[in-house]
A = this chain, B = another copy of it.
Amino acid sequence: MLIGIDMMGGDYAPAQAVKGVKAFQERFPLIPLCLFGAESVLLPLLQQDQVSLEHITIVHAPDQIGMHEHPTRALKEKPQSSIAIGFGWLSQGKIAAFMSAGNTGAMLVGTHFSIKPLEGVIRPTISTIIPKIDGGTALLLDVGLNADCKPEHLNQFAIMGSVYANVMLGIENPTVGLINVGEEETKGNALTQATYPLLKENKLIHFIGNVEGRDILTGKANVMVCDGYTGNIVLKMAESLFDIATHQQIDTPYFGRFNFENYGGTPVLGVSKPVIIGHGISGEKAFMNMLCLAKDMAEKQVMQKMSIALRPQA
């Protein structure tokens, strides 16, 4: 099980990516890693931080995709970039998972063209962890991959989110809620009004009804589904709470949990292999946690389990 990481992506890469690898290695010295990046840049940094190369493969990728490049064009024009080469290895089965804190669009396009959606998946999705005030965690999806959604998309997100919450967060029979503007079944916009009956009928999930804005942080449901436009706004608003708390010199465990670095990155769900998209401003801790998440996803075979849940019924 070789975990692949783009060492060149992100505002603080490669220096912080190297430090993240070092921190991961201290926790899991035997897990082999595959680093994609410019050898001449990486080697001195790895040496400087005294990273053991025993379980490390360095794949030389002389080029890199900038944070603001056009994703499709950049992937086509830069076949020697760390992201392009990383996806090549992933699609050939040479690595078990791939992650980057670089150009999000390129990561999504790369995922789309190099590995397949799971059978039956209409739209892959991305999710985030939301810290619940009672100490637990909830899962919110989609958080930006699908800005416009149809009811059947949200219905599938609910299944994928339930599998993820069960396998990765250890929640037995996770409750599912629909992000909405009221508690009653008939409330909502056209999308949520049409989605509610689908979720209610869905036997693969444990639907508990609508979740209003005030219940997102209190975590009424273990899994919360919405379109990617809404989810992205909720996600970024939740992330900003950490900065606001810091600004207010508030240092409580709850607000500390909004620090995105704790979660490492956002996995793409509904595809055949783990792909994790990190925050552009990822530092050492975020890189380490991204690697931990990839290792966990690969070990727990969450994608395989999602595939079984999503397989079209005969």
Using a CB–CB cutoff of 8 Å, the interface residues on chain A facing chain B are 133, 144, 147-148, 179-181, 188-190, 192, 212-218, 227-230, 232-241, 243-244, 247-248, 250, 252, 254-255
User: Given A216-B237, A218-B240: A181 and B133 within 8 A (CB)?
Assistant: no
CB distance from A101 to the nearest CB of B (A): 17
Quickly give the copy total for this chain: 2
- B218, B230, B252, B255: the one contacting A233 at CB < 8 Å is B230
Task: Tell me the complex Cα distance, A147–B186, Å.
Answer: 12
Inter-chain contact A237/B254, CB cutoff 8 Å: no
In the bound complex, residues from chain B placing their C-beta under 8 Å from that of A227 are 189
In the bound complex, residues from chain B placing their C-beta under 8 Å from that of A147 are 181, 188-190
In the bound complex, residues from chain B placing their C-beta under 8 Å from that of A247 are 133
Task: Tell me the complex Cα distance, A211–B225, Å.
Answer: 22
Task: Tell me the complex Cα distance, A222–B213, Å.
Answer: 22
Inter-chain contact B148/A233, CB cutoff 8 Å: no
- B192, B228, B237, B248: the one contacting A237 at CB < 8 Å is B237
Known contacts A147-B188, A216-B240, A229-B230; 12 further A-B pairs (Cβ under 8 A): A147-B189, A147-B190, A179-B233, A212-B232, A214-B239, A214-B243, A216-B233, A216-B237, A217-B237, A230-B230, A234-B234, A248-B255
Task: Tell me the complex Cα distance, A147–B182, Å.
Answer: 11
Task: Tell me the complex Cα distance, A30–B218, Å.
Answer: 44
User: Given A213-B236, A214-B239, A216-B240: A188 and B252 within 8 A (CB)?
Assistant: no
Sample (13) of A-B pairs whose CB atoms are under 8 Å apart = A147-B189, A189-B228, A189-B229, A212-B233, A213-B233, A213-B239, A213-B240, A214-B240, A217-B240, A218-B244, A241-B241, A248-B252, A248-B254
